[in-house]
Amino acid sequence: MLVDRKKLQTPLIGALTSFEACKGEHTLLLPCDTPLISAKIAEFLFDMCLKRSAAIPRWPNGYLEPLQAVYHTNSALDAAKNALDAGKTDMRAMIDNLQGIRYISTLVLEQIDPCHLSFFNVNTPLDLQKAEAALRRH
């Protein structure tokens, strides 16, 4: 567990903290509210990030999942710092600073995780009940 060194509350600060602490060539970012990530999805994203700056899931409507993605650590660290130096605090600003991103369709990921449990957010007690039920079924 890491504590953000910057006081600004934005996912980009959490990502920056992770990239700064990571000792590996690649970093898997995961939000704390999606506890059902599939190990197979994570492994697939790592494989897809080889020789790329990032492997980021993308929904058919174009929506990105930048907090459930794998990044080349040093490239992402530089991109996050550049975004913050430019006064931008969102993940999209960091992604815009990266070259060589591999976007992975969630339709492809559906072959590994048919119910998209890896993307299920747990933000309420009802969500938690749904997550627990999904774990029992799977």
> Torsion-angle region of residue 55: left (phi > 0), alpha (psi -120 to 50) or beta?
beta
**pLDDT at 98 exceeding the cut of 80:** yes
Strand partners, 58: 64, 105
pLDDT at 1: 73
Number of neighbouring beta carbons within 10 Å of residue 59: 14
**pLDDT at 6 exceeding the cut of 90:** no
Residue for token pair 């494989």 = 47
Q: What is the pLDDT of residues 17-54, one digit of tens each?
A: 999 999 999 999 998 899 999 999 999 999 999 999 99
Cβ atoms of residues 109 and 34 within 8 Å: no
pTM over 0.75: yes
Cβ atoms of residues 97 and 16 within 8 Å: no
Domains parsed from the chain with CATH numbers: 11-137 (3.90.550.10)
Region 117-124 average pLDDT: 93
Region 53-65 average pLDDT: 97
- Which residue in 73, 76, 68 sits closest to 30, CA to CA? 68
Residue 30 burial (CB < 10 Å; 0-12/13-18/19+)? Answer: middle
The DSSP secondary-structure symbol of 119 reads G
